[in-house]
Copies of this chain bind each other. A is one copy, B any other.
Amino acid sequence: MTTSTTRDEPRFSVGQVAKRADVAVSALHFYETKGLIKSWRNAGNQRRYKSDVLRRIAVIKAAQKMGISLLEIQETLSKLPDNRTPTKEDWASMSRFWQSKLDEKIAYMTRVRDMVDGCIGCGCLSMKSCPIYNPDDIVAKECNGAVILDQPERAHAAKNCYDKEN
């Protein structure tokens, strides 16, 4: 196991990384200002990257696909070891972390989906209490009845509901 030090030396230019990772050079600059990736400089002040930057970008893009903000991504990436190149297990634990985030999101969207039909059809007017706005307390309430606002015959009930506040 000859871990030669040269292996880990920053040797990729910004253009190479950009091409390889399929992102714009400007995006790499931007990620750097946000602390998402890191670069070294050569004698002429040009950026040089270590190869693991590619995986960081992979992670960034995957997380973005999950709807995670760069800020959150940065926070997660910052947990990676600073002093050494991340190992497979480092990445794997990050993967597990995001899988659970994604699971949450999927669960959330599923709840929304299940409510959409009921609520759009329902016609309850009180948006503050409508579960569609706060699917998190899904257990707490239900759409209270089929007050159909849009059918003139029943608008009266709706109006009552409206007048209740204010």
Contact = CB atoms under 8 A, between A and B. Distances in A.
B152 A20 contact: no
Interface string A1-42: 101100110001000100111100000000000000000000
B22 A132 contact: no
Contacts of A155: 7-8, 51
What 5 pairs across the A-B complex have the smallest Cβ distances? A95-B120, A102-B113, A3-B152, A7-B152, A95-B117
20 contacts: A16-B166, A20-B125, A20-B126, A20-B127, A51-B155, A54-B149, A55-B120, A55-B123, A55-B150, A61-B127, A62-B132, A65-B132, A88-B121, A92-B117, A95-B121, A96-B117, A99-B113, A102-B109, A106-B109, A109-B109
Interface of A: 1, 3-4, 7-8, 12, 16, 19-22, 51-52, 54-55, 57-59, 61-62, 65-67, 85-88, 90-92, 94-96, 98-99, 102-103, 105-106, 109-110, 112-113, 115-117, 119-121, 123, 125-128, 130, 132-133, 135, 148-153, 155, 158-159, 162, 165-166
